[in-house]
Amino acid sequence: MNQPATPERCARWGVYEVELHGPADGNPFTDVDLTAVFSDGEREMRAGGFYDGDGTYRIRFMPDAEGLWTFTTASNAPVLDGVTGEFACTAAAPGAHGPVRADGFHFAHGDGTRYLPVGTTAYAWTHQAEGLRDRTRRTLAAGPFNKVRMCLLPKWYQYNHVEPEYYPFPGSAEEGWDTTRFDPAFFRRFEQEVAALQDMGIEADVILLHPYDRWGFADLGAEADDRLVRYAVRRLAAYANVWWSMANEYDMMGAKSEDDWERLAAVVSEEDPHGHLNSIHNCGPFYDYARPWITHASVQRQDAYRTAEFTDEWRERWGKPVVVDECAYEGDIDQGWGNISGEEMTRRCWEGAVRGGYVAHGETYVNEAEELWWSKGGELVGTSPARMGFLREVVAASPTGVLDPLPSNWDARTGGVAGAYEVTYFGFSRPRFRELPLPEGKRCRVDVIDTWNMTVERVADDAEGTIRVTLPGREYMAVRVVAQQ
């Protein structure tokens, strides 16, 4: 029997890893089954192991409660079967709050800390050279974003014509891939970046499959898809900051039917003992976000003119949090999905926010190096990220920590907490003043918020009844009413 030298302790929501040594001959990826059951004495949780090359097998697990945990392996390879061990789960590391969960129409970490998605998109950043990845990490560390939407597999698309250093399978596009085996180096690279994000407090919204492909990865067939998804989930599920996205633009992947997506989602559910968030992103028609495995809607623009404006309708339709992962990107490329202004990007974020949802960022400015943030990462040059950080502060200051849609006038939506914290957003309307009825019987503080210039001006401390608020006659203003205790 294999007595592993496993760590004696693991912080709550950290990655606990059992390393084992076993068969290296044949095809260990398919020949060897390996799982482990972890227990804290009350619950048993099963985690699948994976072959990491060179005779090394690993089982990763994210303990979600402090105390003593034990584990026992099971395998068809005798040397990997019945291995046992134990470890102490210690307090969470500073800043670690556990995986994000859906909480009604919003999100919270495992420890209950409110999580307000301020998302961006950099689909292929992990597949770029180290210099560029380093710049991406620095940009993320300096910016307001706490979620990055990113593809597991490399990407081939407009502005994306770089071969990655690693591929998921041994082989080549020209001579074919051995989809019964994986290249551990490919996955290690990806994991390293997921871990780097976790260190920065950023969620990794991992897109398992996507259509932007020249290698055949978008059409591997059901068995290879299942193997790929199982292997990826077993490697990644112990990272607390992982979200699953079954696909980007699932409806552009003609080779897969809804049955395929449902089967693949079941693989994720089966292989992820930690129940990370899961969704699937559309290009045209929505997937049915009411499906039980889907924790939140991950929406792409439905209309060239309106997207965020549907947020509250979508909440009601699916009864889940709404994340508008693509409402178009700030930039100036030739495509209509990637050339809106920072002002319009910010406007969409606010329109979504006062309707109780979360609109995400992307940036697609043409540059010499063809390093567009939305895919390769690098530097941000746009104007919307700072405003998204400012918006987050306004949302976070609500007594519930979130905004929910409130009864509104037709021309300016109000969101917040009824009678306590009400934010009315004027968008492209430019009133010079507005009469606002204050919550009945309450004395209120009233702020004029310039969402573009990121200023908050107190205009009343102790108002009641109806207040006439003077505004500057510019676009992108909001008024916040806060009831005093």
Nearer to a second copy, 277 or 469 (CB): 469
Candidate segments 196-204, 237-245, 423-431, 440-448, binder of a second copy by CB under 8 A: 423-431
Query: Minimum distance between the CB of residue 379 and a second copy, rounded to whole angstroms?
Result: 18
Site for a second copy in 172-191 (CB under 8 A): none
Residue 297: count of CB within 10 angstroms of its CB: 26
Nearer to a second copy, 217 or 286 (CB): 286
Contacting a second copy (CB under 8 A), which of 53, 389, 401, 431? 431
Matching residue, tokens 């008024």 = 479
- Copy the structure tokens of residue 146: 């706490």
Site for a second copy in 294-333 (CB under 8 A): 303-306, 309, 331-333
Contacting a second copy (CB under 8 A), which of 25, 130, 259, 435? 435
Query: Minimum distance between the CB of residue 256 and a second copy, rounded to whole angstroms?
Result: 24
Site for a second copy in 393-412 (CB under 8 A): 409-412
Contacting a second copy (CB under 8 A), which of 366, 381, 396, 418? 366
- Interaction between residue 59 and a second copy (CB under 8 A): no
Query: Minimum distance between the CB of residue 425 and a second copy, rounded to whole angstroms?
Result: 12
Q: Provide the β-strand partners of residue 198.
A: none
Contacting a second copy (CB under 8 A), which of 219, 344, 379, 464? 344
Q: Provide the β-strand partners of residue 203.
A: 147
Catalogue the long-range contacts made by 221-229 (C-beta closer than 8 Å, 24 or more residues apart): 221/179, 222/260, 222/263, 224/179, 224/180, 225/256, 225/260, 225/264, 226/263, 226/264, 226/267, 227/29, 227/30, 227/179, 227/180, 228/168, 228/179, 228/182, 229/264, 229/267, 229/268, 229/271
Nearer to a second copy, 54 or 435 (CB): 435
Contacting a second copy (CB under 8 A), which of 21, 161, 430, 458? 430
- Interaction between residue 453 and a second copy (CB under 8 A): no
Query: Minimum distance between the CB of residue 255 and a second copy, rounded to whole angstroms?
Result: 24
What is the phi/psi pair of residue 308, to 5°? -60, -25
Nearer to a second copy, 168 or 362 (CB): 362
Rounded distance, CA 38 to CA 69, Å?
7
Contacting a second copy (CB under 8 A), which of 131, 407, 432, 440? 432
Contacting a second copy (CB under 8 A), which of 27, 257, 429, 484? 429
According to DSSP, residue 92 is labeled: P
Query: Minimum distance between the CB of residue 378 and a second copy, rounded to whole angstroms?
Result: 18
**Binding track, positions 189-228, relative to a second copy; x by CB under 8 A:** ----------------------------------------
Query: Minimum distance between the CB of residue 334 and a second copy, rounded to whole angstroms?
Result: 5
Nearer to a second copy, 39 or 367 (CB): 367
Nearer to a second copy, 428 or 484 (CB): 428
Query: Minimum distance between the CB of residue 435 and a second copy, rounded to whole angstroms?
Result: 7
Query: Minimum distance between the CB of residue 116 and a second copy, rounded to whole angstroms?
Result: 25
Burial profile 212-235: b = 16 or more Cβ within 10 angstroms, e = fewer: bbebebbebeeebbbbbbbbbbbb
Give every strand in the sheet of 297-300, ordered side by side: 297-300, 322-326, 358-359
CA 435 to chain centre: 39
Nearer to a second copy, 32 or 449 (CB): 449
Rounded distance, CA 295 to CA 274, Å?
13
Query: Minimum distance between the CB of residue 414 and a second copy, rounded to whole angstroms?
Result: 13
Strands (E), 301-389: 322-326, 330-331, 358-359, 363-364
- Interaction between residue 334 and a second copy (CB under 8 A): yes
What is the phi/psi pair of residue 323, to 5°? -115, 120
C-alpha R_g of the chain: 24
Rounded distance, CA 483 to CA 464, Å?
9
Residue 319: count of CB within 10 angstroms of its CB: 12
Strands (E), 91-179: 100-103, 106-109, 119-121, 147-151, 171-172, 176-177
Contacting a second copy (CB under 8 A), which of 169, 261, 337, 374? 337
Side-chain half-sphere of 65: how many Cα atoms within 13 Å?
A: 12
Matching residue, tokens 């046992």 = 84
Site for a second copy in 6-25 (CB under 8 A): none
Query: Minimum distance between the CB of residue 314 and a second copy, rounded to whole angstroms?
Result: 16
CA 210 to chain centre: 15
Site for a second copy (CB under 8 A): how many residues?
A: 31
Site for a second copy in 457-476 (CB under 8 A): 473, 475
Query: Minimum distance between the CB of residue 303 and a second copy, rounded to whole angstroms?
Result: 8
Q: Are 128 and 136 in contact (CB under 8 A)?
A: yes
- Interaction between residue 433 and a second copy (CB under 8 A): yes
Query: Minimum distance between the CB of residue 331 and a second copy, rounded to whole angstroms?
Result: 8
The contact set with a second copy (CB under 8 A) reads 303-306, 309, 331-337, 339-341, 344, 366, 409-412, 428-435, 473, 475
